[in-house]
Amino acid sequence: KDPKSTMDKLLNLNSKRQRDRKWEDLDPDCLANVFVKVGIESLLLFVPFVCKSWYRASQNPVCWERLVFPDSEEEATDDPWSLDDNVANLPWTYANRIEGQSFDYFVRRFAREFQIDWSRFSIPSFIKMVINRSGGNAKFLKIPGICSHYVNAIEKILEHISKNCKGFVGLHVAYATIGTSEASAIVKFVPNLKYMCFRKSCLEKNDLVMLLKECRELVLLDVRECEGFDERDEEILKLASHISKFRCKGSKTHVLRDDDLAVEDLEIIEIDE
């Protein structure tokens, strides 16, 4: 037989097979690696309902290792852990670049899609449900700062993580209020964190000192542009000297303005579990 003719037939057959291939026929592990990139919104609201093979692939724990919840509209960020423009090798998701909906819109849409009475919707319970999807494999969690305004929300979430996700290493809560209760919860439940970001948050010096003294495995701590401590504070800089990527530029003690609300005027949002 003519070798060239045989080769042409094989190439044509292979081309036909390539054209006939369908997404649902892709190897489940390959599908899961694709779904890693799509983000929480798509994994909860869209991907599982395309077909049975996509549903099964979306249950792969690898899809739920990096849980990046959408930001509130005023908290838009390019990458939840980036300290510079070179983010190609950082060990976290790019999903929040793709999905730009606000956190409030996202949770309300989820409640509507699954017919959950909004008056009974609990933010901590919702986040814990997503954490459970990881099957104990969640490693990174990014939640919007508004979560810190719900009573004990961060403490409840971290306690759940400590019980179910032994390999958890990264927490990102920007534009938040990180008080003594939140800092104590971090020390109590996830003291072995390696990556932590509270950028543009309210974080008092005493609470930051507690974190620096107790979380000794940190390799990245981003507390830039925070209020509550001075970026030049010698005690803080000394305690953070072992952290290879410590960023506190722009942080300052509280600057009171005439239009600031008095502490007693601040309202804490309470939620039902």
Q: What is the pLDDT of residue 101?
A: 55
Domain containing residue 212: 64-74+123-254
Q: What is the pLDDT of residue 146?
A: 84
Same domain, 56 and 191: no
110, part of any domain: no
127, part of any domain: yes
81, part of any domain: no
Helices within the chain (DSSP H only): 3-20, 28-35, 40-45, 52-58, 95-98, 103-113, 123-133, 153-164, 180-189, 205-214, 234-239
109, part of any domain: no
What CATH number corresponds to the domain at position 183? 3.80.10.10
Which among 38, 156, 222 has a CA at the least distance from the CA of 46? 38
Same domain, 69 and 17: no
138: left (phi over 0), alpha (psi -120 to 50) or beta: beta
Q: What is the pLDDT of residue 247?
A: 93
Q: What is the pLDDT of residue 154?
A: 93
Same domain, 52 and 68: no
Same domain, 142 and 152: yes
* Rounded-to-integer distance, Cα 134 and Cα 147, Å: 20
Q: What is the pLDDT of residue 19?
A: 54
Count of domains forming the chain = 2
* DSSP SS3 for 160: helix
* Rounded-to-integer distance, Cα 94 and Cα 79, Å: 6
Same domain, 130 and 53: no
Q: Is 119 exposed, middle or buried (0-12, 13-18, 19+ CB in 10 A)?
A: exposed
2, part of any domain: yes
Same domain, 168 and 142: yes
Same domain, 150 and 246: yes
Low-confidence ranges of the chain (pLDDT < 50): 2-4, 73-100, 258, 261-273
Same domain, 203 and 143: yes
CA-to-CA dists, residue 123 to 17, 69, 129, angstroms: 47, 12, 10
Same domain, 17 and 152: no
Q: What is the pLDDT of residue 91?
A: 40
Same domain, 45 and 128: no
Q: What is the pLDDT of residue 8?
A: 59
* Rounded-to-integer distance, Cα 30 and Cα 240, Å: 41
Same domain, 53 and 69: no
Single out the residue in 30, 62, 94 at which a domain terminates. Answer: 62
Q: What is the pLDDT of residue 71?
A: 73
108, part of any domain: no
259, part of any domain: no
* Cα–chain center distance at 149: 17
* Rounded-to-integer distance, Cα 264 and Cα 133, Å: 39
246, part of any domain: yes
| Phi–psi pair at 217, nearest 5 degrees | -100, 10
* DSSP SS3 for 269: strand
Q: What is the pLDDT of residue 102?
A: 79
Same domain, 34 and 68: no
